[in-house]
Structure 1
Amino acid sequence: MNNKGSGRRHIRLLSNRVVVGAVGGGWVPGMDLLPRARLWFPLTLFLLFLALSWVGDTASNKSSSVGGMFWATAKDELSQVERSDAEEPAAVEPDEMEEGGFSSVESMLQWAIGHSDPAKLREAAQDVKHLPSSEIKKRQAELQDLMEKLKMPSDADLMKVAIADLNNSSLSFDERYRALNELLILVEPIDNANDLYKLGGLDAVIKGLNSSESEIRTMSAWVLGEASQNNPLVQKQILNLGALQKLMKLVASSPVEEAVKALYAVSALIRNNVEGQQIFYAADGELMLRDIMSNSSCDIRLRKKSAVLAADLAVSLSANTHAPVTAFLHGSLFLKTVVDLTAEYDLDLQEKALIAIRSLLQLGTTEAKIFKDFCELGKALENMRRKFEELMLEEDQKEFVQELEILRQEVEHVFLKKLEKVPE
């Protein structure tokens, strides 16, 4: 399975979702199986496993199988316990555990046995020994059924549950928010993201963009951005459902986090996507980016993302002959807005501005004179050089500023080469 992101395992999101079967049947919700320190079965369940295995196989004194898993007989276990009373509890080997938990239910059971009280094990075995055979068989059947239920659900199963929760209007805010958070993790692998539409997930998530609750709108935008990142199939599906225009409106939202996640989704949807870029341009994408970049009171994350998106659009236009030709990428007001970012105090924003300027300079549609006369790019680059010289005296910033100066020189070189082509 191909992964787009960090590869966080879906097992992590089972906290507060996975349910554990009680011995008497039925489900006990809310038990957390995830964190290693809390990955614990009730001790009585293990005792019953061991005791039933011993009683059920006394005649043959062979290994007993419960729920498809093979265990040594209780008699063998008790002998082993007596031999190791003075020893430290058995530790779980590193290869028995996976990220976020145990590699299997069997290794989890073995770990619990090694950390159980030997006296209690012996006592439980003696108690079960006197049970009627009918009662023993009943409990063995219940345990086998339990083991079947404890099998880890697939990603598709988890996605179906989360989608069903989103479509259930009777659920609380916390439950719907949790469902979106689970989908956010699940759609990281490309294969899972591709299944989202088939499972009805895209419709459910896009519906969340219209929620009256900002947190739901924020999470919905985040899920859409994660699913469409570098994924042309999902990009097309989301665009066909008309979500881009909704996301662009959310970029202007007053809750900052909502605006940030909406712009992230917008960028993911139109990156290297001609159809998405056409919709973006038609919906006044220029004005949206220009307003953000020119607003010094705007959240710095939005300004940075806007500069990155401007660079992406320029690269896309330069590399793809089928990309839509748009006036704003070489419009004087837009170019000046990007150049003005070089005067901002934030070095990371300055770096993103330089990258955007370099990409815009390399477009054949941009004019060198506009950069020189209207945007005053030469003056801006010189001011950056002086500022970087001062900052290099500060040891904690020296290395990063040196990298910025190299980038600044590269932009200056591209700018001067572009000016050379301008007839006198």
Structure 2
Amino acid sequence: MPDLNELLKWSIANSTLPPTTNQNGQQAATQEQVSSSEGGLTIRYNPPSQATHSGTSALHPTDGAPPDLSPASTPGPGTPTGELQSQTFPLPSTTTPKRDDLTTEMLDLILGKSDSITMKEKMAFAVDEGNPVEERVEALDDFEMLIELIDNANNMPILKLWQPLLGLLSSPEPEIVSNALWIIGTTVQNNIKAQAALYIHSAFPLILQSYLLSTSSPVRAKAIYALSASLKHWPLASQALSQSYPSDKDGKDITGYEVLLRGLGDTDKTVRKKVSFLISTLVLQSNDRYDDKELPNEVRNVIEELTKNTKKEEEKDGLIAGLSRGGIFAELLVQLKEVKEDNLEFEENALKGLINALKFDGLSTQEKEQFKGIWMGLSIQQREERGLDKDEIASADGLLA
């Protein structure tokens, strides 16, 4: 594209003004000065004379100077050529033609479905018992990946997906129950809004029943995972564990603490390890204090609703007192009496839980003496093999001295 200076030169060279006559009857060159509005730049107009003057450098179409073939002066498609041509250009249409060949499926492929629609479709497929179990499990697996996003997890009540999800816990297929528990745990993990939705939908007792009634180790392991996620950093964790729930097994009600006690004696080593980790987490959590003003409004409303009919003893009872009264600490001491080198993770969780219980004065005098005997029987190497750092070892030595 030619630059502005060349266009100005071209314009001046091809412009003409009517000649003026001076007092001698001769034509005089008219000089016109135009000032730029920018200030400081002056364009002086010198129209070409009819006669040829030597020494002038004015540009004129008839001058015999060699043509300027530089890229800046080479006319392009939009460069004026001195000739006016009549051209017409069609105006763009203001209406967009409709496409009748675009289907909903094609638009989904182009734009992609929203997570909400995909979640509803996956859940609808999973609850349909007419579909193959393997494909239902795959749909639940896809659903679990979507629910990892906290916004999708918080949209569960709006999309009314809690009800069908909890309905899957009564499925006769262990794989379906296991994946449903997995989704529950992922939904509420480190998400207090989703935890509130879980308790409002009465999911906690269903999780306990899933553990108690299943003969499948994967189902029981996933039930403990969901139980742990529902209790971790939940302000009413002690209240949830203290309440009695129908067991649907022997007709007797059972508390959450009793379920933890049974978990410590589970036949599956993986389940016992998960239960011991949950207990260790609850001991640490017992010292947490929650400020109602910092909680989201919907969570505060749920807590107020759940505490309306709470018994006074349940309201005052803390996690340490509940674990002690439920025989949890006593069972940990029993299992630690016999050191097993193939059970290091369980023993690590048990030892850390008992050390922290000592800090919060949660062990009875008898339990403290039992723990001291177990602790003194462990060598420094055995303590380190069980994941205890120097600070924890020093803390236990001081508390048991």
Q: Mapping of 1:22-41 within 5 angstroms?
A: none
| Partner of residue 338, structure 1 | 332
Deviation at 1:229, TM superposition (A): 0.4
What is the CA-CA distance between 1:361 and the residue it aligns to? 1.6
Q: Which residue of 2 aligns with 1:285?
A: 256
Cα separation, 2, equivalents of 1:202 and 1:384: 47
Residue 157 of structure 2 aligns to a residue whose secondary structure is helix
Once the two structures are TM-superposed, the CA of residue 201 in structure 1 deviates from its matched residue by 1.1
Corresponding residue for residue 150 of structure 1: 109
Q: CA deviation at 1:189?
A: 0.8
Deviations 1:230-261 (A, max 9, x none): 11111111111111111112223210000000
| Identical aligned residues as a percent | 22
Runs of 4+ in structure 1 deviating by more than 6 angstroms, as ranges, are: 143-146
State the distance in 2 between where 1:308 and 1:159 align. Answer: 31
CA distance in structure 1 between the partners assigned to 2:345 and 2:121 by the alignment: 41
8 Å contact kept, 1:165–1:171: yes
Supply the distance in 1 between the matched residues of 2:227 and 2:103 (Cα, whole angstroms).
49
| Residues matched between the structures, number | 266
> SS state of the match for residue 156, structure 2?
helix
One-letter amino acid of the structure 1 residue matched with residue 148 of structure 2: E
Query: Match for residue 183 of structure 1?
Result: 143
Give the alignment's TM-score, normalised by structure 2.
0.59
Alpha-carbon distance change, 178 to 292 in structure 1, aligned in 2, over 3 angstroms: same
Please point out which of 264, 277, 289 is paired with 1:308: 277
Change (3 A) 1:174 1:402: closer
CA–CA distance in structure 1, aligned partners of residues 115 and 130 of structure 2: 24
Shift of residue 194 of structure 1? 0.7
**Is the contact made by 1:166 and 1:204 (CA closer than 8 Å) also made in structure 2?**
no
Q: Match for residue 395 of structure 1?
A: none
1:165-244 to structure 2, matched below 5 A, reads 165-244=125-204
Which residue of structure 2 lines up, in the alignment, with residue 275 of structure 1? 236
> Aligned in 2, Cα 1:142/1:302: closer, same or farther, shift over 3 Å?
same
For the pair 1:371 / 2:367, whether they are aligned, the reply is yes
The 2-side partners of 1:162 and 1:144 are apart by: 21
- Counterpart for residue 265 of structure 1: 226
Partner residue, 1:96: none
**Which residue identity does 1:354 align to in structure 2?**
L
Cα deviation for residue 372 of structure 1 reads: 2.9
* 1:211 shift after superposition: 1.3
SS of residue in 2 equivalent to 1:186: helix
Distance 1:232 1:204, change over 3 A: same
* Structure 1 pair 207–148 and aligned structure 2 pair: CA distance change class (3 A): same
Q: Give the secondary-structure state (helix, strand or coil) at the position aligned to 1:235.
A: helix
Shift of 1:302: 1.0
Structure 1 counterpart of 2:289, which letter?
Answer: N
- Matched residue SS, 2:360: coil
Measured in 1, the distance between the counterparts of 2:378 and 2:231 equals 31
2:249 aligned partner: none
What is the CA distance between 1:324 and its match in structure 2? 4.2
Using a 3 Å threshold, how does the CA distance of structure 1 residues 144 and 209 change in structure 2: closer, same or farther?
closer
Quick one: distance in 2 between partners of 1:224 and 1:211? 15
1:184 maps to a residue whose letter is E
* RMSD of equivalent CA atoms: 3.1
DSSP-derived class of the 1:318 partner? coil
Match of 1:384, SS?
coil
TM superposition score normalised by structure 1:
0.56
Residues in 2 aligned to 1:158 and 1:149: alpha-carbon distance in whole angstroms: 11
Q: Tell me the residue number matched to 2:68.
A: none
- The CA distance in 1 between the partners of 2:325 and 2:167, in whole Å, is 36
